[in-house]
Every structure is written in C-alpha cells, then in structure tokens.
Amino acid sequence: MRYAHYVSGAFRSDGDPFPVTDPTSGRSAGTAPAASEALVDSAVTAAREALHGPWGATGTEERARVLHRIADGIEARFAEFAEAEAADTGRPREFAETVDVPRAIRNFRAYADLLTGRPERAYTTPATGGGSGDGGVLNYAVRRPLGVVAVIAPWNLPLLLMSWKVAPALAAGNAVVAKPSEETPGTATLLAEVVDAAGLPPGVFNLVHGHGQGGAGEFLTSHPGVDGIAFTGASATGTAIMRAAADHLTPVSFELGGKNAALVFADADLDAAVAGTARSSFTHSGQICLCTERVYVQRPVFEEFVAALGRKAAALGGYGPMISAAHRSKVLSYYRLAVEEGATVVSGGGVPRFGDGRDEGFYVEPTVLTGLPQTARTVREEIFGPVCHVAPFDTEEEAVRLANDSPYGLAATVWTKDLSRAHRVAPRVEAGVVWVNCWNVRDLRTPFGGVKASGIGREGGEHSLDFFSEPVNVCVGI
C-alpha cells in the first residue's frame, strides 16, 4: 500500500516515517510519512493560492461536474478502495464493499446534486426614506465559501467520514487540506489519486498524513491560514482543537464521541429489539460513533431481553478487530473495570481464540454486562468497543431520565410499538438523532450531529453546505 501526501497537485513522501499496522494480524502494513509543520504550511498556502486562481471563480455547475468526476473515479477503482479500507481498518471486506465505498461515492454525488438545486434568497424592502432611493432596496444573500478548510478524520469510518466533509467543502467552493487518522492512511491516499485524475487545479485538495497532537493535526488546526475546521473524533480531541482554533477565532464543526442509549419498552417487538440492539452494539465491533453502549429495558421483559442478547453476542462470528493494540488495551481495561465495579458478565468479557493468525490481531469478544449503577465509569465513559451494559427501568419518565443522564448526546434508539409513546419519548431524549424501531438508517439530507459533549453544529445535506459557506447580504438601493 502506498501512503503519500498530496500537496499543490504533487504526491510527496517526505517526513519522518511512522508505522502502520494490520489490526487483523498485528503485522506491519508499512510506514507512512508524517508531515512536518513546513509541509502543512505549504498545503495551506497551496490551498489559499488555489482560491485565488480559477477554482475561486468556478460556478456551481462546474463544481458539481467535478464532484461527479471524483465519484466516477472512486467507482472505477471500487475494488482497490474496498481492499484498502478493509486493510486500513481490519473490518470484513464485505462491510467496505457494501457500506464505506458506496457511501463515499454517494457523498460526492449527493452534494453535486444538492449544489445545483440550491435556491438563493432575495428580499425586497419598500422605500423608507432612509436614503434607499425611490424604490426602496433589494436585498439578496449570496453564499461565499469559508476559504481554506481543514478536514480531520478519525480511523473508524475513514473514507466515509472524510468524503462526508470533503464533498460539501468542495461543493461550497472551498480549498481543502485533509488529514486522515494516523491509523488509517490508505484510502485517503487513494482519494487523493482520484482527485488528481479528476483534474482539479493544484491546491484545491491537499492531503497530509501524521499524528494529531504535536503532529500534522495540530499544525493544521492551529494554522492562522485555516478558515474553518471540520473534525470528527473524540470529545477530548475536540476540546484541544477548539483551544487551538480559539487563537484565530476559526469556526469549527465537530462530530464527537457518544455513549448512546437504547430504550426498550415492554410493548416492543422483542425479537426486533434484541436483533436491533445486537446490531447497534456490535456492528464494526462497536467502533461506530452511533453504536449503543447503554441499554435500558423495561422490567417485565428485562430478564428475557438480557438472556436473548447474551445468546446473540455469544453466537456472533466474522467480526473485525479493534483498530490497534492500544485501543484493544483500552477496551479490555474497561472489561476489567466493569468487573471491579461489580458487573455481571452475561457474555464475552475477554479475548477470543481463533487458532489462526487472528490470535495475533487485536480482537476482543462482544460483551454484554448487567448489574452496574448509573454512576459506574463503565456506564458513563465511551468505550468504543463491542460492549453494552443493560439495566432495567420501570416507567417512561425514568427511561428518559436515564437516557439523558450522560455527558454525551449523539444518538439514541427507542424500541416500542406504541406510536404515541414513540413520539412522546423521541423529542425528549437529549441526542442529535433518535431512531425508533430501527438503527443507523441514514438519509444523507437529514441533519446529523450531537448535543452536549457529542458535537457542535450539524452536518448532512444543506447543513454541511451551511457550515462550509457564509451568507453575504448585498443591499441595493433601487
């Protein structure tokens, strides 16, 4: 796998090499170059120059064509992207083929279509005698790109989440400097190759590799030439980036961590709730920000639910590893902590043995816990692994209170057949997205983001275009 920076239309591999590891086997997958502060500075400068060149004058139709060309380019190299995404993350290749790569293609196409259908606004104001002329004034608002935007992506859905930001940023006419996670530099490099082949002017899209704190991420987010930062990652990193951004009052859009709740009412279709919670807790081994880690089940069906979910977890096969040895250690430390805190381990709780090369990889068992108080660290802190804690509740009021008793507020799931209850409960749950009787179904036009420690701002459809551009009011005396 080739890992390279892409700056001002040229691929480069300068910078101290850092190791990239295959999480399925623990073996080396090569090295990637870490961008120096000077290289990040050249990327920001190249992006600024691109805005002063022809890119700054492109219209929406031309930018939409560019986005479709990028989507075509990913489509043409679909198998390579799927292989690289599976290699980067260790997830089953089928997941990359059915989720990551198709969604990256859709991200570019969706913003191309949205862009050309977007209305501009005009307002007429009658004459007021305030020097506006006999005919009053005509106001209109035009949207102008932010300028140079930094895109910082995490390792858990590397291609999907990076393209989810790069597509609207380019659609809105910005120039981009993107940094993938140091754990997953593969598909980002392929994306740069596709952008290069799509014929974008040099500097419109730049890619730098490296670490966050003390590395390319920090160089980028503290750079005075960056006009906006779109970041997905951990909440603590969001705090660090916001501190860096504060020096230059750089606007931020943050998609951060979660400790997502599922509420299962006694009137729910229990089979669907169990299957849905198994999916929401264990998909991609729990390494999706939207995964459920707290499950609250109404008391009459609590025992039955726990037993069924435990059986599902124990029967799971074909799952992927944790992204790294360090992340596996973190997840296992929570498995130990849960027991110290007094949890009952219903299923899992350790490291699986496969009897093959995967035993050197970074796998952990899908785990179901019960018996902890709401104050336990295991119930409050994001673990980001295939684990959930199940606790009982009695009343609807209590269910809402428990769901909201968290510093996070990214996503929640409500399982009930009672329509009125669903509509009563959903808006009261403090989360950016609440699913009822389903999980992780995404329409790309809908607002996406978190409340509390789970994020700032919304992405998705118009909401991303709103972040990546600023309305300017032009007022003409007529």
List of residues contacting ligand NAD (CB under 6 A): 152-156, 161, 179, 181-182, 211-213, 217-218, 221, 232-234, 237, 240-241, 255-258, 289, 382, 384, 410, 450, 454-455
Residue 409 parent element (H or E): strand 408-409
Q: What is the DSSP letter of 428?
A: G
Q: Is 289 a catalytic residue?
A: yes
Mention every residue, 6+ apart, whose C-beta is less than 8 A from residue 247: 222, 224
Q: Which of 85, 183, 289, 430 is catalytic?
A: 289
User: 221 - beta bridge partners?
Assistant: none
> What is the rounded CA–CA span in Å between residue 149 and residue 295?
38
Does residue 255 carry a catalytic annotation?
yes
Q: Which is nearer to ligand NAD, 298 or 464 (CB)?
A: 464
- Whole-Å CA distances, 253 to 109, 146, 377, 450: 22, 12, 28, 11
- How far apart (Å, rounded) are the C-alpha atoms in residues 150 and 172? 14
Name the catalytic one among 255, 382, 430, 459: 255
Gap between the Cα atoms of 417 and 175, Å rounded? 48
> Of all residues in the chain, what percent are helix, strand and coil, respectively (each to 5)?
40, 20, 35
Of the candidates 195, 190, 2, the one whose C-alpha atom is nearest the C-alpha of residue 96 is 190
We find the least distance from the C-beta atom of residue 142 to ligand NAD, in angstroms, to be 30
Secondary structure of 133-193 as H, E, C letters: CCCCEEEEEEEEECCEEEEECCCCCHHHHHHHHHHHHHHCCCEEEEECCCCCCHHHHHHHH
- Of residues 152 and 301, the one with the C-beta less far from ligand NAD: 152
Catalytic positions, written as ranges: 255, 289
